[in-house]
Amino acid sequence: ISEDKKDQSVKSTITIYNVEELSTSQITTIVRHEFGHAIGLAHTTATE
């Protein structure tokens, strides 16, 4: 949900499916990635 006047997120929901099949490390990686999107970060095109 965005606040129109400030273009800021005020609420986000992250859903991870099939969590029972994932390791703790995989879940941590997914949560970090999706949290980045929740705070407004996009994918980068930079290579490592």
State both tokens at 12: 């986000």
Q: What is the pLDDT of residues 1-48, one digit of tens each?
A: 555 566 677 788 899 999 999 999 999 999 999 999 888 888 888 776
Q: Which residues contact 33 (CB under 8 A, 6 or more apart)?
A: none
pTM for the complete prediction? Answer: 0.67
Specify whether the CB–CB gap between 39 and 9 falls below 8 A: yes
pLDDT attached to residue 23: 97
pLDDT attached to residue 16: 93
pLDDT attached to residue 10: 76
pLDDT attached to residue 1: 53
pLDDT attached to residue 4: 59
